[in-house]
Chains A and B, each alone.
Chain A
Amino acid sequence: MAQGGTSTDGITLTGVSYAVTGREILSDISLSLTESRIGIIGRNGSGKTTLLRLMAGLIAPSRGSVTVAGRDPADRKAMLSRLGILFQNPDHMILFPTVEEELAFGLIQQGRSKADAQEAARACLLAEGRAHWATAPTATLSQGQRHYLCLLSVLLMQPETILLDEPFAGLDLPTQARLARRFAALPQRLVTISHDPAAVATADRLIWIEAGRIRADGPPATILPAFTAEMARIGEADADADLSR
């Protein structure tokens, strides 16, 4: 289900750099992302999470510009129906004491009434076979269940694109498989960020970020073997002793 690539569709980065206290984390990134499944891969500290936060409008670029569907993603209110974000750690994302409140919040933010949002949240849980979750305290859910709740709260808002930050980190294998199946069936454009080749192996397009720059860009079949070989080569050497600051 590849989507047509016009300039107002998808995510466009033009000459984007991002620096914190003079230290450049991303340098001169230009990308036009219109594919349905996009993977961004790189090592810890390569700048890939910063790239996601830029796309999400959570931080502003030091130079260059970012647009999502032709608009500035920093306008989060306007972005609610266009861009959803699934953070790596559900504990950083769940804001409410009960499951139902957590699900309803995004809908209320999109302008729906409280009663309406609550009803939609319950309907969603029912459709997922988890009606009994509604009044459960979010703190009592397991790690996998909390992750799932975060995904549901994003899906309920029906954004056109969803950014996934290390969506499988810390989850057991059955939960990973369930989530992967769920992702595969989604009609939305997905941008997945990971250090793990397996998480992005089925993408339409892969972008390899290294030291804040694009190292390679192409289909997984050409990118992944090179990435895996490079990671193995670095792992052989003792290359993890440098301090960045």
Chain B
Amino acid sequence: MLTLTSPVETPFHRLPAGAKLGALCLFTALLFHLNSPLPLAALLAALAALHLTQGGTFAAHALRLLRPLWPFALVIALWHLWQRDPAGGATILLRLLAAVMAANLVTMTTRLSDMLALTERLATPLRHIGLAPRAFALAIALTVRFLPVLSQRVAEITDAFRARSPRRPGHRILIPATLAALDDADRVAEALRARGGAG
């Protein structure tokens, strides 16, 4: 399964997931209390330096994860230049970059299995409102299992369409894809019951 965890082993990988998540919450709260560009720039520089100490591959991976932010960065930059408020614009941009970068750092340095274990621990109190930890874990496993199955199915439907049409199927994929999910759900329910149910 493709995940966003970095294959470059860093010292952060060895920290417990819960501690990292706690630190992230505190760090993000701090970011939203700072309202001038200078301290935010210092924090962002520190964060960037932290990435660079782990080598170029790791830093480049982190940079790639920031790419979806560029349209927002562009809008903010233009807006605040037009409003003649560069300090305000810089505050917003630096805060946004630091917050997303810090959160990505936790994601990049925590294995999926550790994240899952943490989630299951955090979800245990939910059993009081009727969410069994076992059903919860089972649902996660089922989704991860059926992601490749369902995308394979969508690819097959696309092929079947293109075999008889010069165009891409576009929205015509939607009904067969939804039916595939519904049919698979019925079969999964049956396979679960065949092996003793989810209870």
Residues of B within 8 A of A91 (CB): 149
User: Looking at the complex, which of B37-45, B89-97, B186-194 is the stretch in contact with chain A?
Assistant: B186-194
- Contact A76 B145, beta carbon cutoff 8 Å: no
16 CB < 8 A contacts A-B = A58-B190, A58-B193, A76-B194, A76-B196, A76-B197, A80-B195, A87-B191, A92-B187, A92-B190, A93-B191, A95-B138, A95-B145, A95-B192, A96-B141, A97-B144, A97-B145
By size class, the interface of chain A is: 20 to 34
| Number of residue pairs A-B, CB distance < 8 angstroms | 56
Task: State whether A110 and B149 are in contact (beta carbons under 8 Å apart), knowing that A92-B187, A95-B191 are contacts in the complex.
Answer: no
Residue B142 lies at the interface, judged by CB distance under 8 Å to chain A? yes
Query: Cβ of B142: which chain A residues have Cβ within 8 Å of it?
Result: 95-96
Closest B residue to A139 by beta carbon equals B148
B74: Cβ under 8 A from any A Cβ: no
Interface residues of B (CB under 8 A from A): 1, 138, 141-142, 144-145, 148-149, 184, 187-188, 190-197
- Collect the chain A residues with CB atoms within 8 Å of residue B149's CB: 91, 139
- For window 59-100 of A, CB contacts with B under 8 Å fall at 76-77, 80, 85, 87, 91-97
Q: Which residues of B contact A87 (CB under 8 A)?
A: 187, 191, 194
List of B residues within 8 angstroms of A96 by Cβ: 141-142, 145
Q: What 8 new A-B contacts, CB under 8 Å, besides A58-B193, A139-B149?
A: A80-B196, A92-B190, A95-B141, A95-B145, A96-B142, A97-B145, A105-B195, A139-B148
- Docked-complex contact B1 and A97, CB < 8 angstroms: yes
Closest A residue by C-beta to B198: A109
Q: Are B195 and A101 in contact (CB under 8 A)?
A: no
Minimum distance in angstroms from B50 CB to a CB of chain A? 31
A interface residue numbers (CB < 8 A to B): 56, 58, 76-77, 80, 85, 87, 91-97, 101, 105-106, 109-110, 137-139, 157
Q: Which of B187, B190, B196 has the most CB of A within 10 A?
A: B196
Give the residues in chain A near B184, CB-CB below 8 Å.
92
Q: Given A91-B149, A93-B191, verify A106-B141 contact (CB < 8 Å).
A: no
User: Whose C-beta in chain B lies nearest to the C-beta of A157?
Assistant: B195
Question: What 3 A-B pairs are tightest by C-beta distance, nearest first?
Answer: A109-B196, A139-B148, A92-B187
Return chain A residues, CB-CB under 8 Å to B187.
Answer: 87, 92
Residues on B with C-beta less than 8 A from A138 are: 145
On whether A58 and B196 interact (CB within 8 A), knowing A137-B1, A139-B145, A139-B149, the answer reads no
How many Å lie between the Cα of A95 and that of B192 in the bound state?
A: 8
What's the Cα separation between A77 and B196 when bound, in Å?
5
- Chain B residues contacting A76 (CB-CB under 8 Å) are 193-197
Q: Once the chains bind, are B145 and A106 in contact (CB under 8 Å)? A: no
Give the docked Cα–Cα distance between A47 and B53 (Å). 66
CA–CA, A207 and B24, complex, Å: 65
Q: Which residues of A contact B188 (CB under 8 A)?
A: 92, 95
Q: What residues of chain B lie closer than 8 Å to A139, measured between beta carbons?
A: 145, 148-149
The distance in angstroms between the C-alpha atoms of A87 and B184, with both chains bound, is 13
Of all chain B residues, which has the CB nearest A53? B190
Q: How far is the CA of A26 from the CA of B116 in the complex (A)?
A: 46
Chain B residues contacting A157 (CB-CB under 8 Å) are 195
B135 to chain A, nearest CB (A): 13
**Chain A proximity of B44: nearest CB distance (Å):** 36
Expressed in whole angstroms, the minimum distance between the Cβ of A42 and any Cβ of chain B is 21
